[in-house]
Every structure is written in structure tokens, then in C-alpha cells.
Amino acid sequence: MIRLTRFVVLVLALGLTWGQNKKASKSDAEIKQAIIRESITSYRGNCPCPYNTDRRGRRCGARSAYSRPGGASPVCYEKDVTPKMAAAYRKRTGQ
């Protein structure tokens, strides 16, 4: 009886430990938003995307890096995230 109790406790402990270590997989939409957030955060200037605002609180619009050709090209919209980018994110983060 004592052996059975110890076995049950061991199995439960291992199950709880395994469940806590397993990361919840993110959805495609969550991954796209994370990639966009990382891209905007890594941009050095004030206006990475058209929907952002500058220091004065004005919408960036056509002044944004996204709207200007050449130079920096931040990822601002879900449509800009390629399957290759999502796969690289999943691999990098273990998703």
C-alpha cells in the first residue's frame, strides 16, 4: 500500500512539473502581433508606422519610416508578416 501511494504521488508530481514547463503555443495572430511589436520597439526614430504619433502627439502618416522608400522598413501590419518570419519567430522562441 505504501509503495502504491508513493508511486501515485510520484506520477502526480511528474505530471504537474511537465505541465508547468510546457509553454502554451501562441496563435498565428499573436505571433504576428509580437513580430510587429518587436519591429516597432527596435526602430530608433519617432515614427516607425503611419498609425504611430510623433513627440507632439500628431499622427505620423506619410512621415513614417514605413511610408518612405529606402532606409528602415519596420513591420507595421499583419499583412507584412511573412510565413518565413513567423516560422523564424516560432523557432527562436520555442513556440
User: Is 89 a domain residue?
Assistant: yes
Angle at alpha carbon of residue 95, lines to 10 and 40, rounded to 5°: 140
Q: Would you say residue 15 has pLDDT above 60?
A: no
| Residue keyed to cell 511589436 | 37
Task: Confirm whether 40 is domain-assigned.
Answer: yes
59 CB neighbour count, 10 Å cutoff: 13
Has residue 31 been placed in a domain?
yes
The answer to whether position 64 is within a domain reads yes
70 within some domain: yes
Q: How many domains does the chain have?
A: 1
In terms of residues, how long is the chain?
Answer: 95
In a domain, 14, yes or no: no
- Res 24: pLDDT: 76
Give the model confidence (pLDDT) of 18-60 as tens digits. 555 556 788 999 999 999 999 999 999 899 999 999 999 999 9
Residue 80 lies in a domain: yes
The three three-digit cell numbers of residue 74, written as one number: 519596420
Q: Which residue has the higher pLDDT, 71 or 17?
A: 71
Domain around 53 = 26-93
